[in-house]
Amino acid sequence: MHHLRLGLLALALSTLGALGLNATSAPQDREAEAAVTDDEESSRPAVLVTGASSGIGRRTTEVLAANGFFVYAGARKDADLAELNALENVQGIRLDVTDPEQIAAAVATVEAGGRGLFGLINNAGVAVVAPLIEVTDADLEFQFDVNVKGPVRVTRAFADLLIASGGRMATTGSISGFLAWEFGGPYTMSKHAIESFSDTLAAELAPFGVAVGVVDPGNYRSQIGVSMRERLQARGYATEGSRYAEQMEARLSGPGDRDQYDEPDDVAAAFLAFLTDEAPRRRTIVTPNRAEAEMTLRAAIARVAEIASGPQEVFGEDEVLEMVKAALDGAR
């Protein structure tokens, strides 16, 4: 089956552009297309963005607010809420996605606003980087409490409003939902779960006219590494007691602010496209360069090849290639 693997790679890599797996995958001209006039301000459809204080969430909030939406922007800190409230067409909401009381209060705030809710962007997320045989239960629970249980809690709480509007819900995934890397187990496991969450929810909400999607970014500028590094250094994963002390020290000593990466403009544009396109994409991978897109696609294709070349040998190479072609046609 070696030729099958090579054939699949060649076919899929030749269609990177068609799948949107590159640095220009997200639309860049949405601001001109979706602009509204001043007399339409009161009728702007409402969207809730969680984790809106920085990075992807903040940029998505700004882009949506500038393109016809009223944004309820979730954040946890007073200073962040004040900054969000200063933005036009934005209302900050105190929202910790691990706190059921704050989620319920957010629902009450949106209901009181009288705009309903057309869109929900589950963006809040954290990163735990630690060896799987050493990560504590507390850190693993923290990872899943925010990244997996958070979207479930928030979506469940706002489901009635989304169904009433026939709206749309998208979650920030990651190319790590397809990849696996050393010490990234807790984080990549949570992002793999988001892929399943999105596909399952899409099937369950389709009868109610609610579209569900996931935007999977590559490496963009954010603050997620700052809090991650502080938390994990305090846990002692890089101490002499760890089997991986040297490797973890190198991992945690790097820059936490991710300033070396591009601003997440393409990611925000992908969320805008999901909310405004007539036929929104179920899954959009957005990367700052072709290398990250190719790495992600190769990981997905490798799994297909492993399934197809299993001991049962149920399908021949031509059959598998036809399946791939049909899937590409469907994605287009």
Residue 251 in contact with residue 129, Cβ under 8 Å?
yes
The one catalytic residue among 187, 220, 237, 244: 187
Q: Per the structure block, which two tokens stand in for 190?
A: 């949570």
> What is the rounded CA–CA span in Å between residue 167 and residue 208?
9
- Return the beta strands (E) in the chain as ranges: 46-49, 70-75, 90-94, 119-122, 168-172, 211-217, 283-286
Q: Per the structure block, which two tokens stand in for 209?
A: 């006219």
Look-up: residue for tokens 């805008």? 272
> What is the rounded CA–CA span in Å between residue 191 and residue 143?
10
Residue 272's H or E segment, with its range, is: helix 265-276
Q: Rounded to 10 degrees, what is the CA torsion of 315, 318, 320, 322?
A: -130
- Return the beta strands (E) in 95-156 as ranges: 119-122
Residue 74 in contact with residue 49, Cβ under 8 Å?
yes
> What is the rounded CA–CA span in Å between residue 269 and residue 107?
26
Q: Per the structure block, which two tokens stand in for 122?
A: 């589950």
User: Annotated catalytic, 261?
Assistant: no
Residue 41 in contact with residue 307, Cβ under 8 Å?
no
Look up residue 325 and give its DSSP letter.
H
The residues that are catalytic are 187
